Chains A and B, each alone.
Chain A
Amino acid sequence: MPPIMTAVILLLAGGFLALLTARLPRLSTAFGVGGAVAGCVVGLIQPVRVLAGGISEAWLRPWSVPYGSLSIEVDLLSAFFLVPILVLSALAAVYGQEYMAAWRGRRSTGASWFFFNALVASMIVVVIARNTALFLVAWELMSLASFFLVTFEHDKDDVRRAGWTYLVATHIGTAFLFALFLLLGRAAGSLNFISFGPAPAASAGVLFLLAVIGFGTKAGFMPLHVWLPEAHPAAPSHVSALMSGVMIKTGIYGLFRVLTFLGPPPAWWGLTLIGIGAVSGILGVLFALAQRDVKRLLAYSTVENAGIIALGLGLGLLGMSYGDLTVAVAGLAGALLHVVNHAAFKGLLFLGAGAVAHSTGTRDMDRLGGLLKRMPRTGSFFLIGAAAICALPPLNGFVSEFLIYFGAFKGVISEQPAIVYPALGLVIGLALIGGLAAACFTKAFGIVFLGEPRSESAAHAHECGRAMWIPMLALAAACAAIGLAAPAACRLVIRVLGDATGMDAFALDHVVSTLTSILSFVVGAGVALMALVIGLVFARRRLLAGREVAHAGTWDCGYLKPDARMQYTASSFSQPLARLFHGAIGTKIRSAPPKGLFPKTAFFGSELVDVFKDRLFKPLFLAVESGVSRMRWLQHGRLQLYVLYIAVTLLVLLIWKL
């Protein structure tokens, strides 16, 4: 058996043991965490071997499911997705051990660990499965396991509602996947991935759209994102990190894998993805910016980053369809690298937000503040994550966005007008996303960690324990390491690309050498930047040595009694942008402004609504419900008539078959 299957078995065994020993919380946690970490470490053997240049191994066993077989393979693309899944899962498990300790005795953490390990195992199987039945079973298991993880605090009303939204959304997505794979299988005559060949152009377009909707629901493309901002805040933070960091990336993996079955892409596929990416990116970051709940902010930012990935993929497809290899490779490589980068910084940010919620008991940014002094480690790691997600050099986020920008600018100077216009749109979109993301994350970090605490609970916050900050440290280090090893990372990604898409190896070599030499300049500039920072720190220390360095209160412009509540809040910080884009962000404001010379009452309240959820899905589902409820007369509870239904149905089928 290949090591990756051993890993799956270890994970499941750990999960089952955790469930069996649920009455002994310590033991069950040990089984859950131990199984998860051991499984992830063993699981890393094979993908690392493949990425280091080893050959990919296929493994096949018969399976009693019709058309199913236990067919798996760890090729370069699978290995590339496996590494972030396994690393982040192991770190999230270690973090979760301490995070979940607060519930010990109050709720069965054994079940939670069972579903955690099942989620990790199913994610592994999703990216290595090479048979449709196996893939869909793992996909469904992944959705169900994460549903149970999201509803961990099921006594809360909003958590139940979030879980329900997620369950419905994920199954609508899966329905599209069923249609996709049935069509693929019917054309190929088999449900094994290896037999799926290039589809004829007419049906390929339908298959592409099915894949975009089915996998896009998981990946969080707008307007299919509505479950994300519900499910991510409701789940325990290590689960949010896992779901946002890697689970939604299985949607990207699926889309990418299916694209390799569909043959050469026409231009409109690329344009569709660029359009989806621009909408998801810009609206995602705008919604994120307007949030007060820090985890909901991060969830919307996941939609934004899914948008950036879609922009890269779209640009890549566009480049492929017009035969511009540099544009194609830069776009696809940027998108794939962003998958890993986003796993690192979004995992880090969710773990950081979890540590804050764990310590203060609130996720409302307007009740936080001043936490960098109370939680110095968490705060510093969160700052690294925030800078990385804003694509600031020299961290990893800059590298992947730089690759996409490079492809787009190559498109702008291209001779073919058909590339120039979408590439220009992409440049504008990415620039706007970048500016808004900077506003969003200066707000998230600045309001939560800087200034004075805005509530008692924030004032009494404490630093989290070692099991929680070491995973954050590891992820922060990964953000810096990928940023500094950009040329190597780029070379690896392009090798994965070449293997998955079958691009001409000789032509790829040329692009690889161009991109790596450019990226080494970028890294050089980043190193120079850090050297300058260190030099300036020492220079200032020399300057201030022996001089008076005093400490005083913040300058309050002559006001006598400044108070922590007078600080700018999360809502006030984002108010100008929320006002500017009020057409896109649905803000409901209830206010009674003070009236008269001696106003008695006055209040102001604002509430954010997701325009897609309120104006698109709510009417849609209400219409479906009213349509379906007309069928109620069939279901009246009289058993005799039900038996009659069965008899009539059988009779009709019999007559039809005759």
Chain B
Amino acid sequence: MSGFLFSLLWLLTALAAAPLLLGVINRTKAWFAGRTGQPLLQLYYDLWKLLHKGAVYSRTTTWVFRAGPIVGLASVLVAAALTPFGGAPALLAFPCDLILFAYLLGLLRFFTILAALDTGSAFEGMGASREATFSALAEPALLLGLAVVAHKTGSVSLSGMFSGDAVSAWAHAGPAILLVAGALLIVLLAENARIPVDDPNTHLELTMIHEVMVLDHGGPDFALILYTSALKLWVLGALLVNVLLPARTGFLLFDGAVALAAMFGLAVGVGVIESIMARLRLLRVPQLLVSAGALAGLAMFLVLR
């Protein structure tokens, strides 16, 4: 029963704290650049403001454009319910739930791309095309990385892999853990439109990927999209933290607090990566994503040896 309560607690934490991750990333980047930077809670203020606005829709668009943000948020919410955190199982856990997890993110992407194409704008088409390309390459890396964890822990459910005694299976697989973590980190950066794949701060539509797809959304719709992005960063980050922190004390509250600290550590890490790296040329991004797959493949090789 306490397991269930903790699952619920961590899900609610995710829902509440996800926008804070972006605040931490932005503050880290500001610190590196020698600026004060925006407040940590800036995204909350933005969401509040946007939710109080009206809406402007393009005359070209149809119901698909309006469905995009809603289907996107709904799918990432269900994905969040599938993500275990801090040693506690997820609210919804069953064998092979990782496939549902991956395809829910696929559903989010499918509707984001369609909403972008619905505007009839060349720029948004560009972003949609790039998103489709890069995510097609990120998906095998994500599933192969999770397959390594599945093989090592003998469980095919996210909660089974990352909670309870499955942890001991990781004890002798240090290098494999690091390789899988590397693969998942690349997937996380690519899926969440961070440097070196996409620059969230760019001001030129021609070079954008994610930002350009949502150019025409405004008001509450844009609030949904911003929140969806934050939550997506949270769930993929939680997977990475789960991989990197297999040690558990058995005290769910303590383990959860450690995982929470690790999440914000990860946000700082993403901020550092964004500060010290340049963005890759678009033609180089596929190579990065294939190398993520290669890292996961190498990890598989290590655990199968």
Measured CB to CB, the closest approach of chain A to B105, in angstroms, equals 11
CB pair A572–B73 under 8 Å, yes or no, is no
Q: A446-B113, A574-B129 are in contact. Are A406 and B156 (CB under 8 A)?
A: yes
B109: contacting residue among A438, A556, A562, CB under 8 A: A438
CB pair B132–A438 under 8 Å, yes or no, is yes
Q: Which residues of B contact A393 (CB under 8 A)?
A: 100, 103-104, 107
Q: Which residues of B contact A421 (CB under 8 A)?
A: 304
Whole-angstrom CA separation of A373 from B59 in the bound complex:
11
Q: Which residues of B contact A434 (CB under 8 A)?
A: 103, 106, 139
- Does B242 make an interface contact (CB < 8 A)? no
CB pair A554–B60 under 8 Å, yes or no, is yes
Measured CB to CB, the closest approach of chain B to A524, in angstroms, equals 8
CB pair B70–A537 under 8 Å, yes or no, is yes
Measured CB to CB, the closest approach of chain B to A296, in angstroms, equals 19
- Does B96 make an interface contact (CB < 8 A)? yes
CB pair B121–A533 under 8 Å, yes or no, is no
Q: Please name the residue on chain A nearest to B153 by beta carbon.
A: A413
Q: Please name the residue on chain A nearest to B108 by beta carbon.
A: A392
Q: Which residues of B contact A431 (CB under 8 A)?
A: 102, 139-140, 142-144
Q: A372-B62, A412-B151, A432-B136 are in contact. Are A521 and B220 (CB under 8 A)?
A: no
Q: Quick one: which of B278-305 are within 8 Å of A by CB? A: 282, 286, 293, 300, 304
Q: Which residues of A contact B199 (CB under 8 A)?
A: none
- Does A616 make an interface contact (CB < 8 A)? no
Q: Mark B108-126, 1 if CB is under 8 A from A, else 0.
A: 0110011001111111111
| Interface of B: prevailing SS | helix
- Which of A149-157, A188-196, A447-455 sits within the interface? A447-455
CB pair B103–A567 under 8 Å, yes or no, is no
CB pair A392–B106 under 8 Å, yes or no, is yes
Whole-angstrom CA separation of A537 from B224 in the bound complex:
11
Q: Quick one: which of A403-441 are within 8 Å of B by CB? A: 405-406, 409-410, 412-413, 417, 420-421, 424, 427-428, 431-432, 434-436, 438-439
Q: Please name the residue on chain B nearest to A574 by beta carbon.
A: B129
- Does A634 make an interface contact (CB < 8 A)? no
- Does A306 make an interface contact (CB < 8 A)? no
- Does B221 make an interface contact (CB < 8 A)? yes
Measured CB to CB, the closest approach of chain B to A17, in angstroms, equals 44
Q: A393-B104, A552-B56 are in contact. Are A543 and B156 (CB under 8 A)?
A: no
Q: Please name the residue on chain A nearest to B56 by beta carbon.
A: A550
- Does B137 make an interface contact (CB < 8 A)? yes
Q: Quick one: which of B39-79 are within 8 Å of A by CB? A: 51, 53-62, 64, 67, 70-71, 73-75, 77-78
Interface size of A by CB at 8 A reads 81
Measured CB to CB, the closest approach of chain A to B248, in angstroms, equals 21
CB pair B70–A533 under 8 Å, yes or no, is yes
Measured CB to CB, the closest approach of chain B to A141, in angstroms, equals 41
Q: Please name the residue on chain A nearest to B112 by beta carbon.
A: A442
Measured CB to CB, the closest approach of chain A to B94, in angstroms, equals 4
CB pair A436–B136 under 8 Å, yes or no, is yes
- Does B14 make an interface contact (CB < 8 A)? no
- Does B92 make an interface contact (CB < 8 A)? yes
Measured CB to CB, the closest approach of chain A to B61, in angstroms, equals 8
Q: A402-B96, A431-B144 are in contact. Are A420 and B114 (CB under 8 A)?
A: no
- Does A557 make an interface contact (CB < 8 A)? yes
Q: Please name the residue on chain B nearest to A421 by beta carbon.
A: B304
Which of B57, B77, B121 has the most CB atoms of chain A within a 10 A radius of its CB?
B121
Q: Which residues of B contact A530 (CB under 8 A)?
A: 74
- Does B275 make an interface contact (CB < 8 A)? no
Measured CB to CB, the closest approach of chain B to A546, in angstroms, equals 9
Q: Which residues of B contact A409 (CB under 8 A)?
A: 96, 98-99, 147, 150, 156
- Does B165 make an interface contact (CB < 8 A)? no
Whole-angstrom CA separation of A434 from B107 in the bound complex:
11
Q: Please name the residue on chain A nearest to B92 by beta carbon.
A: A525
- Does B207 make an interface contact (CB < 8 A)? no
Q: Which residues of A contact B62 (CB under 8 A)?
A: 372-373, 379, 450
30 CB contacts below 8 A, A to B, read: A392-B106, A392-B110, A393-B103, A393-B104, A402-B96, A406-B95, A417-B304, A435-B137, A438-B106, A438-B109, A438-B132, A446-B113, A522-B100, A528-B81, A532-B78, A533-B71, A537-B70, A544-B220, A547-B53, A548-B54, A550-B54, A550-B55, A551-B58, A555-B119, A555-B121, A567-B121, A568-B124, A577-B133, A577-B136, A580-B133
The 5 closest A-B pairs by CB, nearest first: A568-B125, A435-B136, A446-B117, A451-B120, A439-B132
Q: Which residues of A approach B to under 8 Å, CB–CB?
A: 369-370, 372-373, 379, 383, 387, 390-393, 398, 401-402, 405-406, 409-410, 412-413, 417, 420-421, 424, 427-428, 431-432, 434-436, 438-439, 442-443, 445-447, 450-452, 514, 517-518, 521-522, 524-525, 528-530, 532-533, 536-537, 540, 543-544, 547-557, 562, 564, 566-568, 572-577, 580
